Amino acid sequence: MFDYSLAHWGTFFAAAILLNLSPGPDIAFILAQTARNGQRAGFAAMLGIWSGAFLHVLFATLGLSAILVSSALAFTAVKWLGALYLIWLGIQALTTRGATYLPQTEGRVLPHGRIFRQGILVAALNPKVAIFFLAFLPQFVEAGAGPVGAQLFLHGTLIIVVAAFIEPVLVLMGARLTRYLAAHGRVALWVDRGIGSIFIGLGLRLALSERN
């Protein structure tokens, strides 16, 4: 069971690394929470994103993602939920005054549990992730290597494992940015504006996306 060649693993992990390095709502959310609320908040956001992505792995394994891909109504509903949520996060960032970059005794910092739950929604409400897993994972299913569902689950989980070697580094680098922003309020204000614009842009891009 799970008898793969070195070429198989080399191709898979190269693709998984590139996937986790590519910009998108997940990376934007993790870096935004790190910059605005600190290192621990960044890790909470990261765990939330992983949890939301793992839901997509389960859905792909169980075949539920196929419904999302084949049903225009289901795709549209989830797409608009995700788009509106990203836009709402962007509006929140645009309407702050940089206070989230102040030390915890001077500014309002979001509870880590709330950031974790937001991360789950950012990942779970992106139907493109479901479509990606359905299109990507089957390419690494090999006859005789084990049950199809088990192979899908293994490779989907390994994508998240690869993220565990990449995204914590981004959080630690973002923590340095937090300390700088705490000392430069005007810069922090413009970073908030930039973060808000990015999330609104990602939300609009998701809203305009089509099934393909």
Instruction: Give the closest residue to 28 by CA, choosing from 44, 13, 49.
Output: 49
Instruction: Give the closest residue to 206 by CA, choosing from 116, 90, 96.
Output: 90
Share the mean pLDDT of the chain: 78
Up-side HSE of residue 162: CA atoms within 13 Å toward CB? 19
58: tokens are 């389960």
The pLDDT tens digits of the residues spanning 181-208 come to 666 667 667 767 776 787 788 788 778 8
CB atoms within 10 A of CB 72: 10
The pLDDT tens digits of the residues spanning 97-145 come to 554 444 443 445 678 999 999 999 988 887 767 777 776 777 787 878 8
Q: CA dist 48 to 76, 117, 128, 197, Å?
A: 23, 6, 18, 22
CA angle 123, 124, 125 (to 5 degrees): 95
Which comes out higher in pLDDT, residue 84 or 22? 84
Q: How far is residue 204's CA from residue 200's CA, in Å, rounded to a whole number? A: 6
